[in-house]
Amino acid sequence: MTDEAATPLLQAREVSVRFGGVNALAGVTVAVDAGEVVGLIGPNGAGKTTLVNVLSGFQRPTSGSVRFDGRDVTRWAGHQRARAGLVRTFQAVRLFPAMTVTENLQAAGIAGGRPVAAAEAHARELVRSFGLSAYSDAPAAGLPHGVERRVGILRVLATRPRVILLDEPAAGLNERESDMLGQSLHDIRAEYGVGICVIEHDMRLIMSRCDRVHVLASGSTLAAGTPQEIRAHEAVIDAYLGAG
């Protein structure tokens, strides 16, 4: 057994990011393995988005490193990491509005290197297995909010990633839509073995769908553990969850 065998699929090691006088991150270590959902939570300005930016290659850390699939990818650009299977979504979904749901997923598959026919077959399979058949041939432009959000995530999945990083995928969704999105995350992890790191303020989603939760506060790790451990963690309750 080499060291690498024990190394998680994706890991940020002792990452720090300084913006002028602001320590957005100060020595944060976090890991995401294949087939697990890791929640990233914390108060506004805690450094969550900055950490996802560092993991995905959209922010160079001031110090520390990022390892993916046994390689040091700290200096890799975002598109290089995406090609290697480390993909992120942005807060705003940008589907092609005139294309149907299936066509959007197919286009993503083609962009990810699949032949046209295989990409279409996979797009149809995704639509079916994620319960979106009713929207299969609907143009993306008129989709309900929650459906649009889920298609945005499937669009990432169509590129055959190994790890997906999501920044507040449930923001603005109602309870039911958020539950459906959580179910999709669960299915993606179960059926595709993809590792998922999800930033969310929706604690119902975090506590019901995550295998592990990592809590940031003021750029540092406040706590890390199972949802049960985090829910009972006094410093986390004080800094973020509150008594309720």
Ligand X SMILES: Nc1ncnc2c1ncn2[C@@H]1O[C@H](COP(=O)(O)OP(=O)(O)OP(=O)(O)O)[C@@H](O)[C@H]1O
> How many C-beta atoms lie closer than 10 Å to residue 176's C-beta?
9
Partner that binds at residue 77, options Mg ion, ligand X, none, CB closer than 5 to 8 Å by kind: none
Site for Mg ion in 105-134 (CB under 5 A): none
CB of 42 to ligand X, least distance (A): 6
Query: Residue numbers of the site for ligand X (CB under 6 A)?
Result: 19, 22, 24, 42, 44-50
Nearest residue to Mg ion on Cβ basis: 49
Instruction: Work out the angle at residue 101's Cα, subtended by the Cα atoms of residues 100 and 106, and round it to the nearest 5 degrees.
Output: 95
Residue 15 phi/psi, 5-degree rounding, is -85, 130
Partner that binds at residue 44, options Mg ion, ligand X, none, CB closer than 5 to 8 Å by kind: ligand X
59 binds Mg ion (CB under 5 A): no
Handedness of CA 81, 85, 91, 96 (dihedral sign): positive
CB of 48 to Mg ion, least distance (A): 5
- Residue 157 structure tokens: 């999945």
49 binds Mg ion (CB under 5 A): yes
Is the Cβ of residue 45 or residue 225 nearer to ligand X in the bound state? 45
Helices of type H across 33-174: 48-56, 78-84, 101-111, 116-129, 145-157
Q: Which stretch binds Mg ion (CB under 5 A): 46-54, 141-149, 182-190, 221-229?
A: 46-54
Provide the residue type at 85 as one letter: G
CB of 31 to ligand X, least distance (A): 19
Is the Cβ of residue 53 or residue 100 nearer to Mg ion in the bound state? 53
- Say how far apart CA 170 and CA 205 lie, in whole Å: 8
